[in-house]
Amino acid sequence: MNEAQNASPKESLIEFPCDFPIKVMGKTHPEFAQTIAMVIRTFDGSFDDAAIEMRPSSGGNYTGLTVSVRATSQAHLDDIYRALTGHPMVKIVL
């Protein structure tokens, strides 16, 4: 068995708290970035819209966002991912 198989499921390679980049993809919509910022603010009240990088897809049908969130724990990060993946405007979260 290697070390990864022996590691406790509660161990994390990420040290918290940390600024963590999350990539979010969705259909192009004028309020996509603002909506994602509102979702993030439910978990991080000090989230700043300036922490969002936005890129349109080559065809312009989709928008990719990179949002840098302040994660305080693995559970906090997991909650953010769940909220984003469950949002109807979101197609993919990485």
Complete domains list, the chain, with CATH: 17-93 (3.30.70.260)
The CA-CA-CA angle for residues 47, 48, 51, to 5°, reads 105
Quote the CA–CA distance of 20 and 72 in Å, as a whole number. Answer: 10
- Go through 24-50 and write b for each residue having 16 or more CB atoms within 10 A of its CB, e for each that does not: bbbeeeeebbebbbebbeebbeebeee
DSSP three-state, residue 17: coil
The DSSP annotation for 38-85 comes to HHHHTT-TT--GGGEEEEE-TTSSEEEEEEEEEE-SHHHHHHHHHHHH
Q: Is 82 a residue whose pLDDT tops 60?
A: yes
Q: Is 1 a residue whose pLDDT tops 90?
A: no
- Mean pLDDT check: name the lowest of 1-5, 46-50, 61-65: 1-5
pLDDT tens sequence across 15-61: 999 999 999 999 999 999 999 999 999 999 999 999 999 999 999 99
